Every structure is written in structure tokens, then in C-alpha cells.
Amino acid sequence: MEILFWRNKMLVEKGYFLLNLCRIASLWHQDKYLVNPSTDKYETVEDLVQDIYNACEYALYPRNKIYFSKRELEIISHFKSFMDKNFGIDFWNEIEKIDNKTLVYSNKTWIKAREFAGAIIKRFGFSIENFNYENF
């Protein structure tokens, strides 16, 4: 029973990280919820970035490290470092001047983050299509 609990907990922890990562990796999700949002279903850039950053930090907490392989933790740490480096004050100042469509389709930092997130999902053995975006 204890092994089953641990396995379920591992799936929950990885799932939390991957679902948040998928929001940045998915062009479909960004087009629907950032570029063409409805009044009741929308996403903000700030929430999207903060949620994945929090998911990275949460995965890297000492008590949660048991749920990820050493290589997975290195990947998560690398992505968090990427975010630290690229989503600083200059990024936020730049996106204040552009609309979400320009951000999603033309901003080099955002595109690089989306590609990096997609590569991580593949590295974890999944594809973006494995996730149901309607449940975000």
C-alpha cells in the first residue's frame, strides 16, 4: 500500500510540473487563452510565467526531489535558470509595449521558452498532445 501511495504521489508531483510546463509549450493553448481569450477563459502572461516558475521551485524543494530522477531535476533546474535569466525586468518592460499576439508569435524570448518547454516534455517521455488543455 505504501508503494502505491508513493507512486501516486510521484505522478501527482510530475503531473503538476508538466501541466504547468505544457501551458508554455503549447502554441495552441497560448493562441486560445492569451491571443484570443474569451471573457471567462483566459490566461495572463504574468500568471503563466509565475505558475511554471512556482512549479519548478516546488519540484526542486528537498522534500519533493524523491519524485524526480537526477536527470529530471537537472532539467528542471536548467529551465528555472533560463527563466531567471530571461524573464527579468527587461522582458517585462518589453512586453508592456506589445500585445499578446506579438508576444506569442514574434518575441524571441517567448518562442525560445516555448521550444525549451516542449523539449522538456519530450525528454520526460510525453508529448503536448498527452495533455487536455480544456482542464486548465
Range of the domain at 112: 2-128
- Classify residue 134: in a domain, yes or no: no
- Classify residue 135: in a domain, yes or no: no
pTM here? 0.86
Lookup: cell for 47: 500568471
Residue type at position 18 = L
- Classify residue 54: in a domain, yes or no: yes
Q: How far apart are CA 78 and CA 93, in angstroms?
A: 24
- Classify residue 136: in a domain, yes or no: no
pLDDT in tens, the chain (136 residues): 455 444 555 555 788 899 899 999 999 999 999 999 999 989 999 999 999 999 999 999 998 888 899 999 999 999 999 999 999 999 999 999 999 999 999 999 999 999 999 999 999 998 887 776 565 4
How many domains is the chain built from? 1
